[in-house]
Amino acid sequence: MPRVPVHVISGFLGAGKTTMLIDQLARRQGRERCAIIVNDFGEARIDATLLSGGVAVAEIAGGCVCCTAPEALVPNLTTILREVRPDRVFIESTGLARPADIVDTLRRSPLGDELELAPTVIVLDPRRLVTAPPTLLLEQLDAADVVIASHADQSTAAGDAALRAQLRDHYPPPLAVAQSSFGVVDEAVFDLRRDRPLPFIHDDHDHDHAHHDHDHTRRAPSTEGWSAGSRVWPPERVFSAAGIRRALQAATVERVKGLFRTDLGWYRADRANGAVRVVVSPVRSGSAVDVIHHGPQEEVNQLLAALDACISDDAHLKPPDEPVVTLVDVQGRVVELTRFALAALPGQVADVAAAVPGRVGAAVSLGEVLALTFPSPDDQLVLVATDGLTTAPVRVEEAEAALLVHSLSGEPLPSAQGGPFRVLVPKGQSGCANVKGLARIVLVAAGAVEATPG
């Protein structure tokens, strides 16, 4: 049975997402059975009302689907798949959503065998990029597989130039950048896929690249003295973050652009002028790397082989006979904490319900757990779940107020409650996100990774 393509449609407030979707539904009527999950931020139900004509619509109201309502997404999608049996599903998020978080929710759901994670589509008005664009808008753009530049009938030279500048450093490059007036978009952009090697984009040298479909590896014919190569891995591959950094630092090549799903999350990793830069990436379309080098092809091939060797088997996430939380400090030293060890630490909370309404269980302050490794307040931490998905890095001092739930009525926290271990953020606090099935807490030295692309 073919998998159903699911598109995450995102973009800042007023970008034109709903208008574009109405046009797409009209184009597909009679040819495809489409369904939509709409995340209305308020209670006006405007989007659902506009989109409901002859199309199966499910609503997630009252909050942003990537933070306050993620647990409603998978049940709604499950119902649609079972009852509607659609040919295609669109998830339209509120303008305040982080599309990468929605993709992560879909990827970790039990629906994996039924879904094809189709291109993430970001709709934006380029004019918003000209003067002090909101940080969230830029984060949404960074997550794009396909970019729809809306309001083309009102476009400005400054806006178009600002969009080109933002996309110049986008890696992997978008599959398509399309203009839209009154929501009209060529439907073919929704059928693009990242299952082939990507074109290498380099400011100084052009290469006529050939590719090989079988092993997703290609070698590019180069100008005299220059060598190049690329590789693409499916999103299921998980790399060692430390191994990627070591491989890039040891390389002899001039320029590397890479996107990697690692054991610490998704990162863009670059090498230029001998310096390695690692930045959190919202792109979820699979790991890829492009290499260019003024030197022999063999040195390019050596780096590609070294990166291949960084693929992890995720053995550290497999639950032992007795569940533990593994704490890894900035030097890589490991402390394994059982439920009883966590319950013996200072900073216990007998019941988290007062701090996190609607949740239950006994917990310990995450700050007390982190104190076992004597971290710097500026060090960062990453929370890793048993399914391999991770939070973005946050500073230690921003995460100390979170609660690590370890027990319920003196017994292990059941999986239905997010156990055997779960991290919750008290009401009014920010920092690390809620994490079910916590497996590891990894500390990263201050400055080792950057939170957002620059």
Tell which residue, 250, 249, 256, 253, has the closest CA to residue 294: 253
Q: Are 383 and 376 in contact (CB under 8 A)?
A: no
What superfamily would CATH give domain 217-308? CobW-like, C-terminal domain (3.30.1220.10)
In the numeric block, the tokens 């104190």 are attached to: 371
Q: Please write the tens of the pLDDT for every residue from 77-127.
A: 888 898 889 999 999 888 888 888 888 888 878 887 888 889 899 999 999
Tell which residue, 99, 102, 83, has the closest CA to residue 33: 83
For the domain made up of 316-444, give the CATH fold. Answer: Sulfite Oxidase; Chain A, domain 2 (3.90.420)
- Residues 300 and 293: their CA atoms lie apart, in Å, by 7
Q: Please write the tens of the pLDDT for every residue from 333-388.
A: 999 999 999 999 999 999 999 888 888 999 999 999 999 998 888 899 999 888 77
pTM for the full model? 0.72
Where would I find the H helices in 283-381?
Answer: 297-308, 339-343, 366-370
pLDDT at residue 315, rounded to an integer: 53
Q: Are 259 and 307 in contact (CB under 8 A)?
A: no
| Maximum Cα interatomic distance, the chain, rounded to a whole number of Å | 71
The domain ranges of the chain are 4-191, 217-308, 316-444
- Residues 117 and 54: their CA atoms lie apart, in Å, by 24
Backbone torsions φ then ψ of 149, nearest 5 degrees: -85, 105
Pairing of strands 88-92, 121-124: unpaired
**Cβ neighbours, 10 Å, residue 270:** 17
In the numeric block, the tokens 């307040």 are attached to: 377
DSSP labels, 217-261: EEE---STT-EEEEEEE-TT--B-HHHHHHHHHH---SEEEEEEE
Q: Please write the tens of the pLDDT for every residue from 405-414.
A: 999 999 999 9
For 2, counting Cβ atoms within 10 Å of its Cβ (0-12 exposed, 13-18 middle, 19+ buried), the class is: exposed
Q: Judge if 4-191 and 316-444 fold alike in CATH terms.
A: no
What superfamily would CATH give domain 4-191? P-loop containing nucleotide triphosphate hydrolases (3.40.50.300)
